[in-house]
Amino acid sequence: MTRKYQRVLLKLSGEALMGDLAYGIDPTIVQAFASEIAQVVQAGVQTAIVVGGGNIFRGMKGAAAGMDRATADYIGMIATVMNAMTLQDALERMDIPTRVQTAIAMQEVAEPYIRRRAIRHLEKSRVVIFGAGSGNPFFTTDTTAALRAAEIDAEVIFKATKVDGVYDSDPRKNPQAKRFQTLTYSHALANNLGVMDSTAIALCKDNDIPIVVFSLSEPGNIYRALMGEAIGTLVGGTCEVS
Ligand SMILES: Nc1ncnc2c1ncn2[C@@H]1O[C@H](COP(=O)(O)OP(=O)(O)OP(=O)(O)O)[C@@H](O)[C@H]1O
Ligand SMILES: O=c1ccn([C@@H]2O[C@H](COP(=O)(O)O)[C@@H](O)[C@H]2O)c(=O)[nH]1
């Protein structure tokens, strides 16, 4: 397969990294994702990754249990660094050069986030994994993905998650929900389609960055999506139900 894109940003669900476990990281799953990412990189696609933290800690849950929200969010951001380092390890075992850059300084384990440096790594075919979200509480890793994609001039964001696209309502709650093949940013925002938070979608809309939402449950989907095969739902097109 020949590549469609030169530079992409992959938002990898934290929750997906736990596989069938109730919590944490399943190394077999991480290895499987890494092997698909390796193939994409070998095909010449400059790949940046933002990884979530939902398999370890979500600030909202901490706050719901009575914690200070900002403190809980910082814990969530630190959780994403564990996922970023796990992914780095899996990729490097496949001889794929990587750099983890964090938005909260952790210089003993990762580089600080420096935009120009991240771009240089990508130009040298290194996978750049952005950890610690945006470094700011009250945000999400989806918003981080939109922000970093704009900063590094990525052509597209791939949101790799548990659902196979964007539906007209949450498919986990409504079995009758209809899946979109494509939809506009405005439709996603106006209808509060919860697959990605509104801050992330608004940032993509303002910067004209398409978002492809696809499922991680089918092996090979990361490779297919990042190489440019039309899977999942494209946010940033016209409205079409599949
Ligand atoms: N309209 C919708 N279409 C598709 N999914 C939706 C919709 N509304 C809500 N969802 C939910 O959005 C979830 C995916 O987004 P979510 O941000 O929770 O996970 P993630 O970003 O993949 O994980 P993590 O936060 O761990 O990185 C799905 O589990 C799905 O049930
Ligand atoms: O910019 C950010 C990114 C993330 N957080 C916190 O981290 C957790 C995990 O991220 P997910 O996007 O939910 O996977 C999130 O719940 C926030 O608590 C943040 O504060 N700022």
Tokens standing for residue 190:
């106006």
* Three-class DSSP category at 142: helix
How far is residue 91's CA from residue 107's CA, in Å, rounded to a whole number?
20
Residue extent(s) of CATH 3.40.1160.10 domains in the chain: 10-152, 155-242
Please name the residue whose Cα sits nearest to atom 4 of ligand 1. 166
Tens digits of per-residue pLDDT, 82-116?
Answer: 999 999 999 999 999 999 999 999 999 999 999 99
Q: What's the pLDDT band for 242 if we cut at 50, 70, 90?
A: confident
CA 53 – ligand 2 centroid, Å: 7
- Give the helix/strand (H/E) hosting 189: helix 185-190
Please name the residue whose Cα sits nearest to atom 4 of ligand 2. 140
Question: Is the distance from the beta carbon of residue 134 to the nearest atom of ligand 2 less than 6 Å?
Answer: yes
How far is residue 182's CA from residue 171's CA, in Å, rounded to a whole number?
16
Q: Which CATH class is domain 155-242?
A: alpha beta
Q: Compute the average pLDDT of residues 237-241.
A: 82
Is 139 labelled a binding residue? Answer: yes
CA 134 – ligand 2 centroid, Å: 8
Tokens standing for residue 165:
């696209």
Q: 10-152 has which fold?
A: Carbamate kinase (3.40.1160)
ipTM of the complex: 0.93
Please name the residue whose Cα sits nearest to atom 11 of ligand 1. 195
Determine the atom of ligand 1 nearest the C-alpha atom of 12: 27
Strand partners, 240: 182
Evaluate whether 167 touches 196 at the Cβ level (below 8 Å): no
Determine the atom of ligand 1 nearest the C-alpha atom of 58: 25
Determine the atom of ligand 2 nearest the C-alpha atom of 15: 14
Tens digits of per-residue pLDDT, 186-230?
Answer: 999 999 998 899 999 999 999 999 999 999 999 999 999 999 999
Please name the residue whose Cα sits nearest to atom 9 of ligand 2. 53
